[in-house]
Amino acid sequence: MPANQQPYLAHVLAIDAQGNVAYCGAGMDPIVDQLPQSTGLSGEVTAITYASNTLYALIPSVSTVRVYYATNSLFSETPEEFFSGTDAQNMPDLNQAVDLAVNGDMLYLLRADGSLVSCEANAVGESAVVCEKPVTYVDGRVGFEDQAVLMPTSVFNELLFTSPPDQTISILDSNSGDIFQFSQTFRLHQMLRPSFGSYEVEAPTATAFYHLALTEWLLLLLVTSFSTATWVNKRGRDPLMKISRDFEH
């Protein structure tokens, strides 16, 4: 989060399932607060995303995504319900959602099987939100154009939307560490696969990743049965963990 837009000068925002918020930064003790209570039912937060000074919290147990608008990056106002006014035909099953991402009026919801739900707020029509459940993936790589893309049988656990200039929707396969990158029209742009070389990893589970678009650095976090290992990679240089691109699956 932007440190110069809030009084705590924090760079990282963390939240637990009960809605307790921690503002963290280098050289400072965490500052703990709590998200404002909603007028609706309470439930555990399972995933969040932050965009344009707004926090989105996924709460599947009460079938909602709550939207917290910030003042100076602090959350003090009663949240809104993203799916308020959505008809039954467009309402997704949020119990299947494991992560979420936001791009303007678009909300993306990832399911554990790798499928993606795309919902547009402020849509024209009777429903306040219109959803495609799920979207159709199409291959956009050279030599594979317009072929259907079928996600492998696995467990997918994280979704990331990268802002311009490298706008992508990235999905993480937790079992293999593979990252599938799609365009905003859900065309497969490239697939990234970690290569460990001589480093032995027993039963790795990828838990998180982050793509720094401006520098082309990719951060991938793998948790093994022994320890936690973090690799930072950059295309075109000798990384700690190499990445192979456009693999077959």
CA 107 – CA 87 distance, rounded (Å) = 16
Question: Are the CB atoms for 58 and 65 separated by under 8 Å?
Answer: yes
Q: What is the pTM of this model?
A: 0.85
Integer CA distances (angstroms), 247 to 60, 100, 134, 169, 195, in order:
34, 26, 24, 18, 12
Domains of the chain: 43-245 (2.130.10.10)
Instruction: Extract the residue ranges of the chain whose pLDDT is less than 50.
Output: 3, 214-215, 224-244, 247, 249
Q: What is the pLDDT of residues 155-193, one digit of tens each?
A: 999 999 988 777 899 999 998 888 999 999 999 999 888
Q: What is the pLDDT of residues 190-209, one digit of tens each?
A: 988 877 666 666 667 888 88
Cis check for the bond before 134: say yes or no (omega within 30 of 0): yes
